[in-house]
A and B are shown apart, each in its own frame.
Chain A
Amino acid sequence: MKKTEIIEGYLGYMRESIEAVEKTRAKRLKETFPLMSLEEREKILKKFHPDYKEEAKRPAKVGPNKGDLMPHEVADLLEAYPLAKPKDIDLSKVDFDVDILIIGGGGAGMTAALWANYTGANAETILIVQKLRLGDSNSIMSQGGVQAADKPNDGPGLHYLDVMGGGHFTNDKKLARRLVSDAPMLIKWHEDLGVIYDKESDGTMVTIHGGGTCRKRMHSARDYTGLEIVRSLKDEVLNKNISVLEFTSAVELLTDEQKQVAGAVLYNMETQEYYVAKAKSTILTTGGFGRLHIQGFPTTNHYGATADGIILAYRVGAKLRDLDAVQYHPTGAAYPEQIVGLLVTEKVRGLGAQPVNKNGEQFVYPREPRDVEASAIIRECYKRNNGIETPTGMKGVWLDSPMIEILQGEGTIAKKLPAMLRQYKRFDIDMTQDPILVFPTLHFQNGGVIVKENAETTVQGLFAAGEVTGGTHGKNRLMGNSILDYSVFGRIAGINAAKYAKKAKIGKLTLNHVTKYKKMLKEAGIETDRKAPILLPEYRGEKVLSRTLEIF
């Protein structure tokens, strides 16, 4: 066997390690590595979790959260200058005059639009602006499922305990209560729309555990849960004739003299033209920040997850929270290079696959909380040097997926994890026969814009829902609670924005807050040519970038 020869997807030297994994498999099927004690957990987190690295964060220098610690990548954007100069934008010409402007067309945005419509806002008075195509978002990528306490042995109280415990009791209690109390209603709504959840033949929902749940309450649609929900929402948004502006981003919010939010400056990503969109209420549903690649981590997130929402909100004075808490998913793909960072859903471990090192040994209980599991994998690779190095120099550990077929029966992977199986097959790896290589990946923005129970931010006229907000999950979200989050609070934002729009009176449009923000940056001595929001990550080849000329 040549070390660099590729055999069924893996290089020769990897095959040698796989043989070690196969050797220990029979024994491992009978024993599981023990759970850590709370003390052990604390110790490993402090030493190995990326969030605990002090040098990776700094206090914000300006704005409502001045002094709060956040990752450099986020602070860099808050301490960056606006994309457009206020004087270049003619606010006297309004291109879109609507009641409700929804910024971001993922799960939260579309849910808000539909519920605003049900609440009486006419479809033509609602506008969704979306950076990519409608629905191309983190929402369409979620695989595992959505939580709701709808089984007889479960209830909102138990769900609440799980949410709070998962968030290390740092959550906003009111938001958490709302999340769990409205959960069944939203799943019912999906059911009425025709979303096909996995069910028994008598209609009973098939539900399983997720990390940190005390009851089996994870509802799924195979491992295409996000896809199935999003395509149904999208279909309905289009059926209702709600206006959508694709490939257009919000680059700045607008305010009036009363300092209430009054719409946004939009930017056509293709023609580079700006538009003025005036609105009586504005809903921010821009999702998270995975594409900032915090601490250089790869990410599971979609192309447009660049933190635009928090930047825009911050400039009009909205307060943020918990941005220092970043969720790394313990198992992102580490090999092959083509799919590095993409999610290997928790379900794989849920169905019985164990993480093992290059010698085929277990080193952690397979279902520790996400942050603990991720830390153990980092330790195994970088402290104990028991990881498997890939040709690009990345390290990872094995996730012994063939165990699933042994434990749950042949064909289980094809039935329960079709997306996963397909993804690896494309690169000649058969995860029913061979283990897959994983390493933690940047997954979720735990914190965000502060909202009240009615989805209002701390600034008048501005609502927010979904991953862009903070509080519901505190410092750590549990799997299955963010589809729920965008459903519950998307709905509330839609309803309340529609009600608010009925009464709101918008005065003269201004960008005074932007001018003020710039002044604040100058006064804080921030001299930089950084601009924000960044809208899209930069992935062009280094050689090309170093030679580009801006001629036209």
Chain B
Amino acid sequence: MSEEKNPMATIYIMGKAYKVPNTLTIMKAIEYAGYRFIRSCGCRGGFCGSCTTFYRVKNDYKLYVDLACQKRVEDEMYIVQLPFMPAEKPKWDIDKMKPTTDEVIRVFPEIARCLSCNVCTEACPQDIEVMRAIQALRRGDLEDVVNLTFDCISCGACSIRCPAEITHYQVFQLARRLHGKYETIPAKHLMERVKEIEKGNFDDKMSKLMDMNVEKLKQLYKKREIEK
């Protein structure tokens, strides 16, 4: 990568200035500068939420947050990463709970302290309407919580900004599990197939397939009908 082709940007990694190509993501820019990640780097593709990064840019008072693996650097960017979200994981036994928002609020009573400031929503790199989800919980609509928060990658950005000190990603995890376990209808065809397999209904057929020579198997493979 030659410097003429790619204009450089100056970024400040925890206060120290580095020149990096301005096309890089924050993650690749930090590496280009010479750091090797142990923390704050996981999937490198926007799925794991381990690379939460806070930054400011010159002449702007606002504090921004984004995923280092997804966000491109800007000139005069001041960067710090959130390597770990300090929070206790409350333990629950999902088999003994009821699918109500009261159950969720019992585990996380701090939900009641929400000030409706919407800082959480502004922080979310996944564009989740975090505050609306918290309000849906207080309203008693578990399904709405699930739909609003399905794309949550537990990056912790909302939680570190929240004045009510709610750990949203844990709240949403409980909500999703309760909804998934109790409020969605179990698939009947799945249950039946599991029973059929347990009873051994397919055993003979499978054994025959296993004993078949490759040529015959290939014939069967070629002849199989493709569902439209």
Contacts and interface: CB of A to CB of B under 8 A. Distances in A.
The reply to whether chain A is a binding partner of chain B is yes
Interface stretch (B115-123, B160-168, B218-226): B218-226
Interface string B188-215: 1111011001000010011001100010
B25 A338 contact: yes
Given A136-B48, A193-B177, A161 B220 contact: yes
A292 to B, nearest CB: 15
A155 B184 contact: no
A303 B69 CA distance: 11
B197 A156 contact: yes
B86 interface: no
Interface string B31-51: 111111111011111111010
Nearest to B24: A338
Nearest to B127: A422
Contact of A133 (B45, B48, B181, B221): B48
A53 to B, nearest CB: 26
Interface string A223-241: 0101110011001101101
Most buried by B among A152, A181, A196, A201: A196
B interface, size bucket = 35 or more
A169 B180 contact: no
A235 B175 CA distance: 12
Interface stretch (B56-64, B131-139, B147-155): B147-155
Contact of A235 (B35, B36, B173, B227): B173
Given A177-B206, A209-B227, A541-B32, A204 B189 contact: yes
A426 B125 CA distance: 10
Given A239-B92, A343-B45, A204 B227 contact: no
Interface string A297-333: 0001011100000000000000000000000000000
A173 to B, nearest CB: 6
A91 interface: no
Interface in A328-383: 336-339, 342-343
A363 B43 CA distance: 32
Given A177-B210, A194-B94, A214-B224, A136 B187 contact: no
B10 interface: no
A35 to B, nearest CB: 11
A31 interface: no
A133 B50 contact: yes
Contact of A214 (B184, B217, B225): B225
Interface stretch (A182-190, A461-469, A481-489): A182-190
A541 to B, nearest CB: 4
A92 interface: no
B19 to A, nearest CB: 11
A204 B43 contact: no
Given A164-B217, A196-B184, A232-B177, A419 B197 contact: no
Given A337-B23, A338-B72, A422-B126, A191 B187 contact: yes
A552 interface: no
A34 B154 CA distance: 44
Contact of A239 (B93, B126, B181): B93
A109 to B, nearest CB: 15
A157 B209 contact: yes
Given A539-B28, A540-B31, A544-B34, A140 B43 contact: yes
Most buried by B among A140, A215, A545, A548: A140
A269 interface: yes
A12 interface: no
A115 to B, nearest CB: 16
A73 interface: no
Given A140-B47, A177-B210, A231 B193 contact: no
Contacts of A132: 41-42, 50
Given A156-B202, A161-B220, A136 B43 contact: yes
Interface of B: 1, 5, 23-25, 28, 31-39, 41-48, 50, 70-72, 89, 91-94, 126-127, 146, 150-151, 153-154, 173, 176-182, 184-191, 193-194, 197, 202, 205-206, 209-210, 214, 217-218, 220-221, 224-227
Given A162-B224, A188-B191, A302-B48, 10 more contacts: A136-B42, A150-B189, A169-B217, A177-B210, A205-B190, A215-B227, A238-B91, A338-B24, A536-B37, A540-B35
